[in-house]
Structure 1
Amino acid sequence: MNNTLAFIGGGNMASAILGGLLRAGRTPASLLVVEPYEPQRQKLAAELGLQALAAPDASLARASLVVWAVKPQLFAEAAAPCAGLLGHALQLSVMAGIRSDAIARATGSERVVRSMPNTPALIGQGIAGLFARAAVTAEDRQQVETVLAPTGRTVWVEQESDLDAVTALSGSGPAYFFYVVEALVQAAQDMGLSEAQGRELALATCAGAAALALQSGESPSVLRERVTSKGGTTYAALSAMQAAGVGPAIVQAVKAAQQRARELGEEFAPSLPAAPASTGAA
């Protein structure tokens, strides 16, 4: 069975996946990468030993799975020269906002999986929401999970619209975390600690709390209550947050991100012509 994987786009997310696949035993010869930006092609060659193509060619027809990893606004431009080469292949998109029907129309394949990863994927600690169109088989799903395994965890959703919520929660989530850490570091400095001390304390505390929550079978509210003694320091801090409306503000912020993800999905839904019949063998 053909085992070639093709990547359209060779940027940071693609590089994270490619690096993981190579570490897991994939050979460079089984990976095709199309990356028009010459400095990035040089980086792929230097760091991963991959010779990327500057533009698509007939070799793409060998691919059994195609990973779309270009910026969403460049999808139509990237897909056009691939038309007729990819219709037989499973399509995996890590592009934000591009709906699966646009990908199916552009590639000629109904076997489309959309993924919404996040930036910790770059160090193998990410989580990605996945949606599969009806034509995607159980074997296809397993292949997608294997390809994304080097980037972290995966969660399947039943409806494509659920990816807007995934985008808002985990896709944008690292930025929320960094925002909170910024505030903690500022508080540390206001209280007389150095920026370096505040950063180390804040990051270690957040990492430890996340690890504890992941290992515990109890809810975050129970874990919070266990370190909150009435009249104590944690109680004082949480009371101040509640008075400032921090909890509802976070919920409102995440819902705003969901709405924007929905809007971007409409903006990035290009009127692409249907791809011609594929020249590749199934």
Structure 2
Amino acid sequence: MSGGSSRPIVLVGAGKMGGAMLAGWGRKALDAPVIVIDPAPSDEVRDIADRMGATLATEAPADTKAGVLIVAVKPQMMDDVLPPLTGLRDEETTVVSVAAGITIGRLEAALGPGPVVRTIPNTPSQIGRGVTVAVANPAVDAEGRAAATDLLGAIGMVEWVEDEALIDAATAVSGSGPAYVFHMVECLAQAGLQAGLPEDLAMRIARGTVTGAGALLDDSPADAATLRQNVTSPGGTTAAALDVLMGDQAMQSLFVKAVAAAAKRARELGS
């Protein structure tokens, strides 16, 4: 860890994402003390912090320099949250941001020079099945990158990119992606209802089908296209449905437009 393992890991913000990270750290042995800064931590966060021996604070403690400073607040709050944190940071502190749209440049301008990692995790991080895409500025050395990977890995898989511009695209795919899947369940259940299924049954089987298919995708060495083909018998029911979904690239076209809209919004948040 950059700055040495004796320096604390400081987590700013213990909402859904920050709380998920804290819970993940509680399931593993960290080699540094943890300080959580949140003005109103939930009872769940208090319990996790108590079990792992983390310190809770309502504001940045004085005379403390973080080894890793993780800022897990909403993008709209960054301008208010960052200035009071400058005392926690020196050129050996690795700053890790999990806020959509907040660029490395904005973080450097607010907190001063030094290592910065910009990331975008997603909500399955709450159950340790998240996807986090990260990019580092040139000041992040191998030790700092390893420390960030270790901490982010507590909530799921971590992928690194070298071009910061790719973070907006990743935000649109993995960051926002769970919402697309949840909406697909809603649409599938509604289609089942219109086909004659009782509403509660339609939702149960739509939900179970999507979670089961996801588990199969995760467990199988085959790619998504192969798994799709395995379900699709020539001239069968699945083929008839896919003729609609894939005809004129209907579904693909919608996803291209949706991801482009999300990426555009991510860039707007950073401006």
Same fold, TM-score > 0.5, yes or no: yes
Deviation at 1:93, TM superposition (A): 0.7
Asked if 2 retains the 8 angstrom alpha-carbon contact of 1:6 and 1:60, the reply is no
Cα deviation code 1:93-151 (max 9, x no counterpart): 11111101111222223200111000000110110001011111111111111111221
Out of 62, 67, 73, the position equivalent to 1:64 is 67
Q: Which residue of 1 aligns with 2:259?
A: 254
Q: Which residue of 2 aligns with 1:118?
A: 122
Asked if 1 retains the 8 angstrom alpha-carbon contact of 2:22 and 2:48, the reply is no
Within 1, Cα distance between the matches of 2:153 and 2:256? Answer: 30
Secondary structure in structure 1 of the residue aligned to 2:67: strand
Any stretches of 5+ residues in structure 1 without a counterpart?
267-282
Secondary structure in structure 2 of the residue aligned to 1:140: helix
Within 1, Cα distance between the matches of 2:48 and 2:199? Answer: 33
Secondary structure in structure 2 of the residue aligned to 1:166: helix
Within 1, Cα distance between the matches of 2:14 and 2:60? Answer: 13
Q: How many residues align?
A: 262
C-alpha spacing 1:230/1:42, structure 2 compared with 1 (3 Å) = closer
Q: Which residue of 2 aligns with 1:73?
A: 76
Q: Which residue of 2 aligns with 1:9?
A: 13
Within 1, Cα distance between the matches of 2:215 and 2:241? Answer: 22
Asked if 2 retains the 8 angstrom alpha-carbon contact of 1:7 and 1:33, the reply is yes
2:262 is matched by which residue type in structure 1? A
Asked if 1 retains the 8 angstrom alpha-carbon contact of 2:128 and 2:156, the reply is yes
Counterpart check, 1:186 vs 2:190: yes
Asked if 2 retains the 8 angstrom alpha-carbon contact of 1:41 and 1:51, the reply is no
| Greater CA drift, 117-126 or 200-209 | 200-209
2:19 is matched by which residue type in structure 1? S
Out of 82, 85, 109, the position equivalent to 1:82 is 85
- The one of the two structures with greater contact order (alpha-carbon pairs below 8 A, sep at least 6) is 1
Within 1, Cα distance between the matches of 2:260 and 2:247? Answer: 21
Counterpart check, 1:161 vs 2:165: yes
Deviation at 1:184, TM superposition (A): 1.0
Deviation at 1:60, TM superposition (A): 3.4
Out of 21, 24, 30, the position equivalent to 1:20 is 24
Within 2, Cα distance between the matches of 1:218 and 1:170? Answer: 20
Within 1, Cα distance between the matches of 2:26 and 2:224? Answer: 37
TM-score (normalizing by structure 2): 0.89
Q: Which residue of 2 aligns with 1:225?
A: 229
1:103 is matched by which residue type in structure 2? L
Q: Which residue of 1 aligns with 2:49?
A: 48
1:70 is matched by which residue type in structure 2? V
Within 2, Cα distance between the matches of 1:216 and 1:236? Answer: 25
Within 2, Cα distance between the matches of 1:194 and 1:20? Answer: 39
1:99 is matched by which residue type in structure 2? T
Asked if 2 retains the 8 angstrom alpha-carbon contact of 1:32 and 1:60, the reply is no
Out of 127, 132, 150, the position equivalent to 1:128 is 132
Any stretches of 5+ residues in structure 2 without a counterpart?
none
Deviation at 1:220, TM superposition (A): 2.2
RMSD: 2.0
| Greater CA drift, 89-98 or 207-216 | 207-216
Secondary structure in structure 2 of the residue aligned to 1:130: strand
Asked if 2 retains the 8 angstrom alpha-carbon contact of 1:165 and 1:258, the reply is yes
Asked if 1 retains the 8 angstrom alpha-carbon contact of 2:64 and 2:87, the reply is no
Deviation at 1:246, TM superposition (A): 2.1
Cα deviation code 1:5-63 (max 9, x no counterpart): 00111211111111111221348x81111112x3x2555224432542112121532x2
1:78 is matched by which residue type in structure 2? V
Within 1, Cα distance between the matches of 2:263 and 2:36? Answer: 32
